[in-house]
């Protein structure tokens, strides 16, 4: 049974986050299902990359707006708005990670949570 934040399913939240990322042409979007991973900190991670500081800001803002528009949810916590390498929007059950392209491999979240079921989202052109 999926945990919920204020009645919103983590699946719906993940979909809204993906849509927000796609709106600003984020690349290499993946959804990691962590529900079967022992000691996971969330139900899903949604990860994407951007090419510039400006694009990272735009992606994070778009995710925030899309989730609020669709589900009336605000992030519980955000990080990384200042350093522009890795921005995080934490919705408790779902965490959105917006990486600058060159930093994503360095932090290697996909490898850290290797037991997760990964869904790759096709890039929007």
Q: Give the integer Cα–Cα distance in Å for 27 and 41.
A: 24
Tens digits of residue pLDDT in 16-41: 999 999 999 999 999 999 999 998 99
Measure Cα distances from 117 to 30, 31, 33, 110, 121 in Å: 10, 8, 5, 10, 13
Does CATH number 2.40.30.210 belong to domain 9-120? no
Q: Are 118 and 110 in contact, with CB atoms under 8 Å apart?
A: yes
pLDDT digits (tens, 9 = 90+) for 64-115: 999 999 999 999 999 998 888 999 999 999 999 999 998 999 988 989 888 9
Domain layout of the chain by residue ranges: 9-120
User: What's the whole-model pTM score?
Assistant: 0.92
How far is it, in rounded angstroms, from Cα 67 to Cα 17? 6
CA of residue 69 relative to chain centroid, distance: 16
């Amino acid at each position: 049974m999926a945990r919920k934040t204020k009645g919103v399913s983590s699946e719906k939240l993940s979909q809204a986050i993906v849509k927000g990322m796609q709106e600003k042409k984020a690349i290499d979007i993946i959804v990691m299902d962590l529900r079967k991973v022992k000691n996971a900190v969330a139900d899903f991670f949604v990860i994407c990359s951007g090419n510039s500081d400006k694009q990272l800001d735009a992606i994070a803002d778009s995710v925030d707006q899309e989730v609020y528009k669709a589900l009336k949810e605000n992030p519980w916590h955000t990080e990384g708005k200042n350093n522009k390498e890795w921005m995080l929007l934490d919705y408790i059950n779902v965490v959105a990670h917006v990486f600058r392209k060159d930093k994503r491999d360095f932090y290697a979240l996909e490898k850290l949570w290797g037991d997760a079921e990964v869904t790759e989202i096709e890039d929007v052109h």
